[in-house]
Every structure is written in C-alpha cells, then in structure tokens.
Amino acid sequence: MSQATESTAVAQQQNKEALFSPKNRRLVTDPLTDNNPITIQVLGLCSALAVTTQVKPALIMAICVTVVTAFANLIISLIRNGIPNRIRMIVQLVVIATLVVLVDQVLRAVVYDVSKQLSVFIGLIITNCIVMGRLEAFAMGNKPWPSFLDGIGNGLGYGVILVMVAVLREVFGAGTLLGFKVIPQFIYDAGYTNNGVMVTPAAAMFIIGIIIWIQRARNPKLVDIS
C-alpha cells in the first residue's frame, strides 16, 4: 500500500463518526430543552392545544409524531440527492402522508378507542410544521443516521411538552390521571371542584406560555432580542 493510500485510509477512519457521538447525542437531547420544537421553534401548537385534555391521547399523539418525523427524515435523507428541487415539497408530502396512513392503520388495529378520540388530528400530522420543518431544515442536507436522530429528538421534544400540558389539564380539569382518580374524595367534600377552564384550549396555551417563560428565565440566551 502506498503512503498516499495509507494516509487516505487513516483520514477516513478518523473522520468516521461514532453512531452516538456527542454531536449525534445532541441531535436527540437539544430538542428536549433549548431547541424544543414547541417552546423554542414555536411549531406544532395546534395539536398541542387540541389533544392535551387527557394524558393517554397526548402520549399516543407524541409517539405517532415521533415515528413519522424520524422515518420521514430517514427516507428523505436517503433519497435527497435524487429529488429535483422544484418538486421536493411534493415528494416530502407524499412520504409524510404514506407514513401517517400507516400509523393511523396501526392505531385503528391496536388502540381503536384512542384512534377514534384523536380522530382528524392523526391525519393532520401531514401538515404538522414540525415534520415538514425538519425535512427542509435538516434531512435535505444531512446523512440518514443524523437525520433519523434529529427526527427522534424533535418528536420527543414535542411529546415532552404535550405530556406535561396534558398532565396538568387532566389532573386539574378532571381530577384524574390516565383515567384514574388522583384527587381524594375528602378534598371534594371540603369544597374543591374541578377547574372547567383547564379543559379548554385556552388553558393549554396558558400552560405552554408558562413553560416558555420558565425556559427563558433559566436561560437568557433563548430570549429573542431582535
């Protein structure tokens, strides 16, 4: 082996990135906190308002969006070099729609009651800004594995906010958690009543606003000063 060939092989080995390198791990962890798709990127708010009255549908919705975002990122990254620029958004929508149909059919087969409860919102994953946003911002310009991790990270970041909002709304709006009663009867006997405002979309927006405020109070770098 010549010296040049050996040097090239060594350079390729050094440039080969580990599957779970610090950079790749940040693709999963950053959307959970300082780059959250809902509270920082301000994407996916509509479903966050609509499906968070109870924890179970919010959790199922979070899993669905994570699966769709991860695999849409992966597929688009794999074929990105063969997608003509003028029809890239059409291709992206076809990939997303196919994945959403598959997810919807699985839900109907496994958890039909939740599928019926989520109803149209599963179909609206097709237009979820998080999914399309990650395809445009990341998958179209990066390799498959990082794109897959980016999809998982943003799906989980979306899901964390959904579940947090749903826990507060279900507990204070219905006195239950995952359908189980969590507020003791003696508290109701003392005069406590469930807060009807918590089951309205306005409550979800209020809670998300508080989460955004807490995030920016803890990390001033997140404050937009433009």
Instruction: Look at residue 201 and tell me if it is in a domain.
Output: no
Residue 9 has what pLDDT?
47
Q: 55-79 and 129-137 helices cross at what angle (nearest 10)?
A: 30
Instruction: Look at residue 67 and tell me if it is in a domain.
Output: yes
Residue numbers of the chain with a pLDDT score lower than 50: 1, 6, 9-11, 13-14, 226
Residue 16 has what pLDDT?
65
Region label for 201, one of left (φ > 0), alpha (ψ between -120 and 50) or beta (otherwise)? alpha
Instruction: Look at residue 220 and tell me if it is in a domain.
Output: no
Q: Which domain holds residue 62?
A: 19-166
Instruction: Look at residue 78 and tell me if it is in a domain.
Output: yes
If one counts the domains in the chain, the total is: 1
For 97-151, the DSSP string reads HHHHHHHHHHHHHH-HHHHHHHTHHHHGGGG-HHHHHHHHHTGGGS-HHHHHHHH
Global pTM?
0.86
Residue 94 has what pLDDT?
95
**Spatial distance between the Cα atoms of 7 and 42, rounded to a whole number of angstroms:** 46
Instruction: Look at residue 129 and tell me if it is in a domain.
Output: yes
The closest of 152, 162, 166 to 30, measured between CA atoms, is: 152
